[in-house]
Amino acid sequence: MDLFDVAQSRQIRMTNNRVSSAESVSDHRMRRADNEIAELAERFERMRTTCEAMWQLVCETTGLTDAHLTYRVYELDVADGQKDGKRTIKSTPCECGAMVNAKVAACQFCGAPAPARSPWDSV
Ligand SMILES: [Zn+2]
């Protein structure tokens, strides 16, 4: 084995170590993402069960029906101009005249607190 072979073997070992390390980091990130997805699915199921329980209580105490709920969901869905199953939150006008993005707490132009919105807009 000459000097070139030794240098080349060392370079191959170092490359293999780097690949192995990158795979390990990638595996860790995938496991973490899988855990986050599982946690979100669990939270979603708890939220759905809680919403259903609340709705049953509302129906029992007010006389509202599933048809009322279905229609209200439809109204909220189409309020943004699109029937897409989502309620898109629109920008709101600031006292300075600028439109304030729904996801920010203050006007990006004058710094005034964002105009009052529905509490549901922050969910
Ligand atoms: Zn402003």
Q: Are 92 and 102 in contact (CB under 8 A)?
A: yes
Nearest alpha-carbon partner for 107 in 120, 93, 123, 121: 93
pLDDT of 119 > 80? The answer is: no
- At 16-52, the pLDDT tens digits run 999 999 999 999 999 999 999 999 999 999 999 999 9
Torsion angles phi and psi, residue 78, rounded to 5? -85, -5
Reading the block at residue 79, the tokens are 């309020």
Interacting residues of 110 by C-beta distance below 8 A, sequence separation 6+:
94, 95, 96, 98
* Under 8 Å between Cβ of 80 and 88: yes
How far, in Å, is the centroid of ligand 1 from the Cα of 81? 26
Q: Is the pTM of this model over 0.75?
A: no
Asked if 94 and 87 touch (Cβ cutoff 8 Å), the reply is no
Residue with tokens 């496991």: 31
CA of 93 to the centre of ligand 1 (A): 8
Residues 95-101: what's their mean pLDDT?
92
Q: Are 58 and 64 in contact (CB under 8 A)?
A: yes
pLDDT higher at 35 or 122? 35
**Strand (E) positions, the chain?**
92-93, 99-100
Ligand 1 centroid, distance to 96 Cα (angstroms): 4
The rounded Å distance from CA 87 to ligand 1 centre is 24
| C-alpha of residue 122 to centroid of ligand 1, in Å | 19
Provide the residues around ligand 1 (an ion) whose CB is within 5 A. Answer: 94, 96, 98, 107, 109-110, 112
Compute, in angstroms, the gap from residue 103 CA to the centroid of ligand 1: 14
